Amino acid sequence: MKKETDRRKQQASLIRLFRKLHRTTGAILFVFFFLTAITGLTLGWKKNSGGYILPESFQGSSADLKDWKSIESLHAIACRIAKDSISPEISMELERIDARPDKGMVKFVFIDGYWGIQLDGATGNLLQIERRRSDFIENIHDGSVLDHIFKTNTEILKLIYTTIMGLSLLLFTITGFWLWFGPKMMRRRSSE
């Protein structure tokens, strides 16, 4: 009987500890969980936003790469358009070049201000100047916005953020399960 009472006390103590961990972690990380949830939901809907979150990809004139201008000349055109149409002070540093031969189009995505320029790969004609809201939302979601703010080149803040959020979610899963299952187990044992 004493052994059973001691085991119940240990289980009750463990449930209290998990409840405290669950509550404290939730209170400390509330804002981050809220942002992660909202940005994750938004990213899930990005392709269904009518081009507002994720810009639409337009069709160029030729899907045959031998008809295309060189990437260097397309890049020069994109830089000129960015300086003329977005801002003369925009940095020409690229985040990426996204070539879509099947669409006959290439996107030049600039780091500065989340801007993108879509060009026809064959003619170099402008297809769209786009604001890359989805990239900004993704940077908030995965914490890399902190590396942009503090100008780190190593993505260390993103790594720290994702580690904390991942471990916290794991902790919430374990403690939440135990807060649900522990009392059920205690009731079952007490009725035996």
- pLDDT at res. 121: 98
- pLDDT at res. 116: 97
All structural domains of the chain: 1-53+132-192 (no CATH), 56-131 (3.10.450)
Give alpha helix (H) positions in the chain.
Answer: 2-28, 30-44, 71-81, 133-142, 144-149, 156-191
Measured CA to CA, the distance from residue 118 to residue 20 in angstroms comes to 52
Pair 160, 32: CB distance under 8 Å: no
What's the predicted TM-score (pTM) here? 0.81
Which band of pLDDT confidence, cut at 50, 70 and 90, is reported for residue 1?
Answer: low
43-95 tens-digit pLDDT: 999 999 999 999 999 999 999 999 999 999 999 999 999 999 999 999 999 99
Which tokens hold the place of 73?
A: 């000349």
- Report the residue count for the chain: 192
Which of the pair, 189 or 98, is modelled with greater confidence? 98
